[in-house]
Each structure stands twice: as structure tokens, then as C-alpha cells.
Amino acid sequence: MCRMSTVLDLVFSALSDPTRRAILTMLLEDDMAVTDVAAPFEMSLAAISKHLMILADAGLIVQERRGRVKWCQLQPDALRAATVWMQGFGQFEPIDLDAFEAFLAQELCQDHTDDRPT
Amino acid sequence: MCRMSTVLDLVFSALSDPTRRAILTMLLEDDMAVTDVAAPFEMSLAAISKHLMILADAGLIVQERRGRVKWCQLQPDALRAATVWMQGFGQFEPIDLDAFEAFLAQELCQDHTDDRPT
DNA sequence: CCAATCGTCAACCATTTGGTTGAATAACCG
DNA sequence: CGGTTATTCAACCAAATGGTTGACGATTGG
């Protein structure tokens, strides 16, 4: 009867693409212009633009146009609902922050031009 | 060079479908046979079988065949990596368990036959 | 003003996704 | 054995996804 969850649909499917996760990781460092986001990837600007729209639809980023450049800013609050949902399944234990730091370190030193192989 | 993250790909894309999330929620209560999982949904058994295979591929459930019935069991540990990844973006605040309980209560009283409209 | 830059739009394409049906396999029950 | 139950397989389909290219509209700077 009610229906809900479209938010979770959008967030999880946005997160399911490695390119988009890489973009979010980049934005964790600082806000970026669309062109600069696209730079490390071996993919057209239009493709990155689409990815950014998907992230924006999910609420994971906000894009603010200033002059001719559009700035992308991470919106971590959008992960709240999804995190809450997932935590419900994870036997309620505290999150291991060290694990995330380690993962992030590994991901940041990666060569994105090699992403999405075939 | 390295490549990784296929795990996150699989988990997030498994979670991006409301039918699959509903199945996981059902399994939170108890292990279930495939046919029983399928019962509340307005969708063929074969379709549910596919969903379960996707969940199994992501490691979110394990399926053990006993006789002619195949039991599905939630595997919450598979959410670990994804939870860790997401927590990294959520300004590191503690998880609100009450919010999850509330969400779950809402979701459990739902009519699944009304899922996936058009 | 003109040219270059930033980003999106539109059309197109191949692949994946989520569903269907009907037949096939396997195990159980009487 | 033979029928029923449980589940998957295979073929098929429509729609969504992720990418391309080229043209376009805005904005900026010389």
C-alpha cells in the first residue's frame, strides 16, 4: 500500500558503480568542477556528467553552477538512510574505522584510467 | 593496475533492488525455503530464484539444499565491507538503531504484492 | 567581438537487468 | 512405480544502463 524506499533504490544503485564510488572518494578530499572530476578517468566528459547526475539524483552530491563551472560537493547525509538500513543487518557492532582508512588509502593510490576493464 | 571492489559492486547492486531488500528483511526473521520466500511476491518463482542467486553471488545469503528444498540463510557479514565503505562518508557518527527499528517495522507491515509498480 | 572553455543534450549503440513462460531435473510420498 | 512438489534451466522479451559522438548554449577572457 504505502511504497517507500525509492531513496534506497537510488542510493544503492548509485553506489553500485565503481566509477561513481571513485568519484565520491575524490570528492571526499575537496569540492571539484565537473571537468576536473572527469580528468582521471578514461571516459568521455559526457559520461562523467551522466554519472554526476545520477549521484545528484540520489542526493549523494550537490552541484552548484558558478559562472561556467559547475562545482560538485559531497553530501554525506544522503548516506544516512542507507547506512541505517545496512546496520540493521550487521549484528549491530561498532564500525571499524581503521578498516575504512585502509581501504581508502588503497583506493586513492589507484590508477582510475584502468577502471572498468571490459 | 590492481582492480578490486567487485565485492562492493555486487553487494551494492544486489541491495539496489527493492524486491531483494525485502527478501533480506524477511530472512532477518528466520531461514526460509525458496518457495516460501517467493510466496508474498506477485512474481514468478523463477524470478525469485534469480534474485536469490544474485543475493548469493553477493554473499548476502547462503543457500543450503536439504532434500528437495533449498534453505536460504542471511549472511550479515557480507555487509561488512559495504558498511565500512559507507561509514567513511557519514561523518563518523554513531548509528541510530531506533531509526532502523522504525524503518523495519514500517517495511514489515507492507504489502509486497504491491511492490515494483510498473 | 571572437575564440576557447565548460557542461549538457540528443541520438545512437551494445550489454545488462528483471521479468515471463515452459520444459527439465531431482527428491519425496503413497 | 508414478504423481506431486521444489527448484532451476533455457529461450525469449522490454526496458534500463553505461558508454560513444557531435552539436549546442553559456560564459569567460583577450
Query: For A20-29, what is each residue's pLDDT tens digit?
Result: 999 999 999 9
- Which site among A10, A57, A89, A106 would you substitute to test the B interface, given the most B Cβ atoms closer than 10 Å to its Cβ? A89
> Sign of the C-alpha dihedral, residues A117, B2, B7, B9?
negative
Could A90 and B76 be called an inter-chain contact, meaning their C-beta atoms sit closer than 8 Å? yes
Could A100 and B107 be called an inter-chain contact, meaning their C-beta atoms sit closer than 8 Å? no
What angle is formed at CA B67 by the lines to CA B76 and CA B54, rounded to 5 degrees? 35
Residue B48 C-beta-side C-alpha neighbours within 13 Å: 20
Q: Which residues, in sequence order, are CB contacts of B117 under 8 Å at separation 6+?
A: A3
Separation of alpha carbons B62 and B64, rounded Å: 7
Q: Which residues, in sequence order, are CB contacts of B19 under 8 Å at separation 6+?
A: B41, B43, B48, B51, B115, B116
Grid coordinates belonging to A44: 568521455
Higher pLDDT: A60 or B101? It is A60
**Predicted pLDDT at A117:** 39
| CB of A60 closer than 8 Å to CB of A74 | yes
- Is residue A7 pLDDT above 70, yes or no? yes
> What is the residue whose three cell numbers read 504489502?
B111
Smallest Cβ–Cβ distance between A87 and the set B16, B18, B83 belongs to: B83
Higher pLDDT: B32 or B109? It is B32
Q: Is the CB of A63 under 7 A from strand C?
A: yes
**Predicted pLDDT at A42:** 96
Higher pLDDT: A81 or B72? It is B72
Query: Domain spans of chain A?
Result: 6-114
Could A85 and B92 be called an inter-chain contact, meaning their C-beta atoms sit closer than 8 Å? no
Identity of residue B100? F
**Predicted pLDDT at A99:** 64
Nucleotides of strand C under 7 angstroms from a protein beta carbon: 5-10, 17-22, 26-28
Mean pLDDT of the B78-82 span: 88
Is CATH 1.10.10.10 the classification given to domain B1-76?
yes
CATH number of the domain at A6-114, please? 1.10.10.10
- CA–CA distances in Å: residue B28 to residues A49, A73, B42, B60: 38, 36, 21, 11
Q: Which residues of B touch A90 (CB under 8 A)?
A: 76-77, 79-80, 83
Higher pLDDT: A89 or B22? It is B22
Could B9 and A1 be called an inter-chain contact, meaning their C-beta atoms sit closer than 8 Å? no
Mean pLDDT of the B43-72 span: 97
Separation of alpha carbons A42 and A37, rounded Å: 11
Residue B100: pLDDT band with limits 50, 70, 90: low
- Is residue B114 pLDDT above 60, yes or no? no
Smallest CA–CA distance, residue A57 to chain B, in Å, is: 14
**B69 backbone dihedrals φ, ψ, rounded to 5°:** -105, 140
